[in-house]
Amino acid sequence: ENISVVTCCSVRLVEDDMLALKALYGFAKNGPREEKIPLEDTIAGAAIFQKKPIAIKDIRKEKKYNFSKSHEGLVSLLAMPIFWKEKALGVIQLYTLQEHVFVEKEVKLVQYLAAPLIGLAVKYAKINNRRLLALLEVSKALSSKSDLEDMFETIVDRAAHVLGIKRCALFLLSEIGDKICLEAGFPKCDHGIGLERELREYPAVREVIESQNWLLIENPQSHELTRDSAALSRTYGINAILFVPLVFERKILGAFTFDATGNKKTFLPQEIGVCRIMANISSAAIARAREQERFQKEMTAKNRMEILGKAAADIAHEIRNPLTSIGGFARRILKKADDPQKVLEYGNIIVKETDRLEQIVGEVLEYSRQKELNLVRANLNNLIHETVKLLEIVFSDKRITVLLNLAEETVEMQLDAVKIKSVLTNILRNAVEALSENVGEKQIWIETHQTKTHVELVIKNNISAPLSQEILENMFNPFFTTKANGTGLGLAIVDSVIRLHKGYIKVDHDGQKIAFNIRLPR
């Protein structure tokens, strides 16, 4: 959830018994003209009197809302009261163009980002409308971001824009609290992004983090807390540095630094107020993004465990059958040790089941190892010829004819030759098994075509009966099989290898033939 659905917003502050319009964002030029509205009998006033946010699903149907022509197109509203030390300061109103129900998380997000912004703005006052609007824009921009790296860059870029400064940086504290990492800086090229150092090496940052209070250092070249970085201050002409802590719900996250350079000698009180607002907005946004990231990791870990559990159950099921047979016939041999014919019969069965067990383990290992490619310059047509040659005896025994229609020109490309031969082998063995059940014509067609950007490989064979939708949808899923002795990993391996090559595979089926269509980039 985020407030990116919000298109427009306005800020009204309490003046006597009225709410005076102080700032607008997102409205058309002919936006709201009601400079003042009464506290009584208005939604904004009700939010202040009730000391809680009020969400309206459709303001067009709300009697208390003074719906004028300038509000055309607006539908839903969230009125958030602003208080500073129990004193009512005003209200921020957020609008959407489509009907929207503001959920609890969105309301809290506005409380975290927008309300403190306005509260601090009023406390430090005299922040002009341009900066107030810019800060509102920052709140909205950050609320729609969840990627931390992207968020860090947005924070420092917007901070520099709002304050009109040329340098600022964002530091985050490590989980243990003994190290500090430079996560973002403006301009990006002048900062060692990603540099992590001991907190004690940054005396000024440590002072701000430990006190959780802002610190303004003028003439940083000679100040005891910044003397170690005097060369940096001289290089960039830094006249003053403002350090502001990043705190969310009393937990210290890091620190913001703002540099006064060139003709700017220091930071005025109202500018310090803006910097603190930026720090508050950033802290809330970072804490929210971290929470989302943590939740995503937990869900990923949970899903991974569920997948691993299912895979383990499937493997155990596949292995149990041959193991049961091996154990059963081994016990029979013990009972029939004096009957050579029975021992030979049972021994042959054990060997066959052992072979089957080795096949299962081999395919599981092959599937689990589909991680990296050993790319070489290879000729796809040659790989097809080699694979068909290896399976020549199988085709002959099953009386299967293989028809090749390969591209005349040399089909050379970057491939993992071993894995591609595994793809060809798995698909062709699959075709052999399908054709073994076919009493009619037994043929396999293999074709290749190439363009400037990719190569297409088609392997097609007859089938004895149409395939069900379930089979078509699941044939590439691990452990899905319709064969009594199959593992369901052959086509899963095929799909994995093709994906690793950044290609794709699809199946065409007309009830009489099945075709595997593979496209690989050149």
User: Which pLDDT does position 365 carry in this prediction?
Assistant: 67
| Lowest-confidence pick of 164-173, 252-261, 405-414, 487-496 | 487-496
Q: Which two tokens stand for residue 467?
A: 């395939």
Judge if 1-126+134-144 and 145-322 fold alike in CATH terms. yes
User: Which pLDDT does position 67 carry in this prediction?
Assistant: 61
**pLDDT tens per residue across span 84-101:** 667 788 888 888 888 898
User: Which pLDDT does position 388 carry in this prediction?
Assistant: 93
Q: How far is CA 18 from CA 37, 42, 271, 275, 417, in A?
A: 6, 10, 28, 30, 78
Assess contact for 513 and 461: CB atoms under 8 A: yes
**pLDDT tens per residue across span 187-229:** 877 667 888 889 988 899 999 999 999 999 999 998 999 988 8
| Lowest-confidence pick of 146-155, 245-254, 304-313, 501-510 | 304-313
Map residue 141 onto helix, strand or coil.
Answer: helix
**pLDDT tens per residue across span 151-168:** 777 777 777 777 778 888
Q: How far is CA 114 from CA 102, 194, 321, 440, in A?
A: 15, 29, 63, 74
- Give yes or no for residue 130 having a pLDDT over 60: no
Measured CA to CA, the distance from residue 4 to residue 388 in angstroms comes to: 57
More confident call, 253 vs 4: 253
- Give yes or no for residue 391 having a pLDDT over 50: yes
User: Which pLDDT does position 269 carry in this prediction?
Assistant: 85
- Give yes or no for residue 124 having a pLDDT over 50: no
CB burial class (10 A; 0-12, 13-18, 19+) of residue 512?
Answer: exposed
- What value, to the nearest 5°, has the Cα angle with vertex 82 and ends 79 and 85? 155
Kindly provide the b/e burial profile for residues 278-291, where b requires at least 16 CB atoms within 10 angstroms of the residue's own CB. bbbbbbbbbbbbbe
Question: What average pLDDT does the segment 108-116 reach?
Answer: 66
User: Which pLDDT does position 1 carry in this prediction?
Assistant: 44
Superfamily of domain 145-322: GAF domain (3.30.450.40)
DSSP string for 43-104: HHHHHHHHTS-EEES-GGG-TTS---GGGTT--EEEEEEEEETTEEEEEEEEEESS-----H
Give the DSSP H or E segment for 127: none
Residue 299's identity, in one-letter code, is M
- Give yes or no for residue 125 having a pLDDT over 50: no
Residue 364's identity, in one-letter code, is V
Spell out the domain ranges in the chain: 1-126+134-144, 145-322, 376-521
**pLDDT tens per residue across span 6-28:** 778 888 888 878 888 776 766 65
Residue 382's identity, in one-letter code, is N
- Give yes or no for residue 128 having a pLDDT over 60: no
Q: What are phi and psi of 64, to 5 degrees?
A: -75, -10
- Give yes or no for residue 414 having a pLDDT over 50: yes
User: Which pLDDT does position 117 carry in this prediction?
Assistant: 56
More confident call, 447 vs 371: 447
- Give yes or no for residue 430 having a pLDDT over 80: yes
Name 328's Cβ contacts closer than 8 Å, sequence gap at least 6.
none
Q: Which two tokens stand for residue 38?
A: 């009464």
- Residue 36: name the closest of 90, 96, 97 by CA: 90
Mean pLDDT, all residues of the chain:
80
- Give yes or no for residue 68 having a pLDDT over 70: no
| Lowest-confidence pick of 124-138, 268-282, 336-350 | 124-138
DSSP string for 402-415: EEEE--SS--EEEE
Measured CA to CA, the distance from residue 467 to residue 7 in angstroms comes to: 51
Q: Which two tokens stand for residue 230?
A: 């005097």
Domain spanning 1-126+134-144: CATH 3.40.50.11540: no
Strands 504-509 and 196-198, bridge-based pairing = unpaired
CATH number of 376-521: 3.30.565.10
User: Which pLDDT does position 490 carry in this prediction?
Assistant: 76
Q: What are phi and psi of 14, to 5 degrees?
A: -70, 125
| Lowest-confidence pick of 35-44, 108-117, 345-354, 430-439 | 108-117
**What pTM was computed for the model?**
0.45
